[in-house]
Amino acid sequence: MTTLALLLMIGATPAGVAIEATPEMESRRAPRFRVIALDGAARIGEVIEWIGDGPLRIKETDGAIRAVESADLVRLSREIETPSATSPSAFEPIGPATSAPTVERWEFQTRGGERLIGSVSEGDETGFRVRRGDGSHVHVPLEQIERLTRYGQDQTANAPSNDAAPDEDLISLRNGDRAAGLIDRIEPEGISLQTGERRRVLKWSVVAAARLAVAESPATGETEEASRRFICMLSGGEILKAVSIDWRGPTLLMRHEGNETLRLDSASLLSVEASRGRWQWLDDLPTVSY
């Protein structure tokens, strides 16, 4: 094991998982990020470390090491051009190609603004697990899903219409038909739909898209500090919310809202935006113009 690999290991993470940089990661040039702080200051460089609530340490182009307090972070965005088909992807692991069969992928959009891409690995009446392209799994409560569509196809053509009643779920089929009712399960075999006393499972092969009705949910009572989130946009098109990030060198651990810990390559990260952080008085912010 190289000295660099030893330095890139994280031994005390929320999930107790150690991270080690792969040879592919070590051979690539570390991506540069623009870090925006609460006071409006911007720094550009390579992220060296960002662990929990500790400061984000960045190596700027002149070699200087700077630190930005986690509570002061507003946005972190990668300094790259528009991602191309050859850009590292969050759901296409970097490494040699394999002969594994192609798995049909779906795009899941949540009411909280997340966008996940993958296939359903398991599910029940409370929610389901999305298997992402890198093999990691993310649990999604059924009540949080707003819509799902086939990934990579014309989303406008597949988008469910508003034919169903506001309190009914609607599934669009590939032959042009539509089915309305209550989606009570999303599982590897397909989508379970209840219409009156009848329940049937529509296989994924016949489904084009689905839209779930809005369900009222009680207030959670979360405090401002407990509800702090990081909105992460990945090069593959996914948008994930993290409650914490542990980042060293080319690899980071992101603890998802569902408590799963995802291991990501920093090259697949486009931006991180701090959401609902600490309180800030308007008088403390610099005035741009009147």
At 155-190, the pLDDT tens digits run 554 555 555 567 899 999 999 999 999 999 999 999
3-class DSSP string for the chain? CCHHHHHCCCCCCCCCCCCCCCHHHHHCCCCCEEEEECCCCEEEEEEEEEECCCCEEEEECCCCEEEECHHHEEEEEECCCCCCCCCCECCECCCCCCCCCCCCCEEEEECCCCEEEEEEEEECCCEEEEECCCCCEEEEEHHHEEEEEECCCCHHHHCCCCCCCCCCEEEEECCCCEEEEEEEEEECCEEEEEECCEEEEEEHHHEEEEECCCCCCCCCCCCCCCCCEEEEEECCCCEEEEEEEEEECCEEEEEECCCCEEEEEHHHEEEEEEECCCCCCHHHCCCCCC
Boundary-marking domain end, from 187, 211, 235: 211
Please tell me whether residues 76 and 128 are part of one structural domain. Answer: no
Task: State how many domains the chain has.
Answer: 2
Span 209-238, average pLDDT: 71
* pLDDT band with cut points at 50, 70 and 90 for residue 20: very low
Pick the more confident residue, 5 or 75: 75
How far, in Å, CA of 232 to CA of 243, rounded?
Answer: 11
Which pLDDT score is estimated for 236? 86
Average pLDDT value for the chain? 76
Span 106-132, average pLDDT: 92
Please tell me whether residues 254 and 193 are part of one structural domain. Answer: no
Please tell me whether residues 13 and 67 are part of one structural domain. Answer: yes
Boundary-marking domain end, from 164, 184, 211: 211
Is residue 285 situated within a structural domain? no
Pick the more confident residue, 246 or 97: 246
Q: Note down the domain range covering 177.
A: 106-211
pLDDT at 212 over 90: yes
* pLDDT band with cut points at 50, 70 and 90 for residue 10: very low
Q: Which two tokens stand for residue 233?
A: 């946009």
Which pLDDT score is estimated for 215? 64
pTM of the predicted protein model: 0.69
Q: Which two tokens stand for residue 268?
A: 């697949």
Which pLDDT score is estimated for 162? 56
pLDDT at 200 over 80: yes
Span 98-109, average pLDDT: 69
Please tell me whether residues 207 and 228 are part of one structural domain. Answer: no
